[in-house]
Amino acid sequence: MRKKGLSVMLCAAMAASLLAGCGGGNKPAETTAAPAAAETTAAAADTTAAPEKSEAETEAEAKDDAASGDLIVVGYAQVGAESDWRTANTESFKSTFTEENGYKLIFDDAQQKQENQIKAIRSFIQQDVDYIVVAPVVETGWEAVLQEAQEAGIPVILSDRQMDVDESLYECWVGGNFIKEGETAGNWLADYLKAQGRDGEDINIVTLQGTIGASAQVGRTEGFGNILKQHDNWKMLDMQTGEFTQAKGQEVMESFLKSYDDIDVVVAENDNMAFGAIDAIKAAGKTCGPDGDIIIFSFDAVKAAFDAMIAGDLNAAFECNPLHGPRVDEIIKKLEKGETVEKIQYVDEAYFDTSMDLESIKAERAY
């Protein structure tokens, strides 16, 4: 899949030819990379019309290639650093795509702005990276830049969030099954209310949504909504975006508490918004958690969510595994071998609540 290998071998052939004073006539210059000789010759034949490079340029490229050890260059357009989950996701890529593992990672933080991600992708294209990985801030508006990547021959892999584009524009997607996460949360709530003897009561719910249009927001809202429809006594009082941040989550929860005095359940579409909601609930003189006035659960299940459950402030957390780096590494290695990969690749996920041995589970988790 990579263009770099050909470039490296071509530079080596050119350098050898220059050192030999072009004394070999029409015979291709010999290189130490014997298995790739035919590939090198083909690459040289394809570029005979290209302008000749100076000896200094050739030597500089050869030195760069030697220094890099023919690393696989990956450009990663990360959506931002809005949450603990995102921090763990970023670290997963940085710890996986290292020189020791045969990679050079070019990382870009888009700060929650699509225009920044598009600029980053175009920069990766200009830098002629081998692969582009994108965690898109929203699902739409990507066709043009992905077409540019495709025309440049650079495979694109999507991480975490999906794009609403033709599937031919990207290799595959890696992430959580957001609809299933939402449905799992809804079913958990139904079981929890039944265990409390409240399954026949009217239940008033508010939702702190993620960034509108993001795959996690769309899927979790849809999934929970699917279960909501099955319970006539559940009422969704309000849904507003907390932008996946703690500060905005607290702000929106404060607004909910002022507007509604009978909230039974808070659905937070990520942990950080739940933390903000907990602060708002406490500031309003109310309580939440297993022994509180309000049931509250969230998605992601980072370690801080375990702390909140252990403290009795959070009822449950539904996992969205952020450790995508190793899976993307596996995908790239398959593509390097010319193998096909599955278009949709879900990561393993679970859920956790206060009925479990949370201290032991937390101790074994990487995030």
Top mean pLDDT of 22-26, 37-41, 356-360 is at: 356-360
Whole-angstrom Cα distance, residue 143 to residue 115? 13
Whole-angstrom distance, CA of residue 145 vs CA of residue 147 = 5
Give the pLDDT mean for 200-223: 97
Instruction: Single out the residue of 162, 174, 184 nearest to residue 301, CA to CA.
Output: 184
Q: Determine the pLDDT at residue 52.
A: 46
Task: Give the end-to-end CA distance of the chain in Å, rounded to a whole number.
Answer: 33
Residue 3 has pLDDT above 90, yes or no: no
The per-residue pLDDT for 1 is 58
Judged against a pLDDT cut of 60, whether residue 10 lies above it is answered with: no
Distance CA 349, CA 297 (A): 16
pLDDT at residue number 366: 84
Q: How far apart are CA 324 and CA 345, in angstroms?
A: 10
Q: What is the pLDDT of residues 30-80, one digit of tens each?
A: 333 333 333 333 333 333 344 444 434 433 443 344 345 599 999 999 999
3-state secondary structure 228-256: HCCCCCEEEEEEEECCCCHHHHHHHHHHH
132 has pLDDT over 50:
yes
Average pLDDT over residues 329-335: 98
Contacts of 160 (CB under 8 A, 6+ apart): 79, 89, 135, 174, 175, 176, 215, 216, 322, 324
Stretch among 20-34, 74-88, 233-247 having the lowest mean pLDDT: 20-34
Cα dist from 287 to 87, 152, 264, 279, 283, whole Å: 29, 56, 11, 10, 9
Q: How far lies 296's CA from each of 76, 188, 229, in Å?
A: 34, 12, 19
* Mean pLDDT value of segment 113-134: 98
Give the 3-state secondary structure of residue 203.
Answer: strand
State the average pLDDT for the chain: 86
Pair 263, 287: CB distance under 8 Å = no
CB 231 within 8 Å of CB 205: no
Give the confidence band of 237 by pLDDT, cuts at 50, 70, 90: very high
- Residue 156 Cα distances to 62, 94, 140, angstroms: 27, 18, 16
Q: What is the pLDDT of residues 262-315, one digit of tens each?
A: 999 999 999 999 999 999 999 999 999 999 999 999 999 999 999 999 999 999
Which residue in the block uniquely carries the two structure tokens 């933390």? Answer: 275
Q: pLDDT tens digits for 146-194?
A: 999 999 999 999 999 999 999 999 999 999 999 999 999 999 999 999 9
What percentage of the chain reaches a pLDDT higher than 70? 81
Question: Each residue of 76-108: pLDDT tens digit?
Answer: 999 999 888 999 999 999 999 999 999 999 999
The number of residues making up the chain comes to: 367
pLDDT at residue 363, as a whole number: 96
One-letter identity of residue 58: T
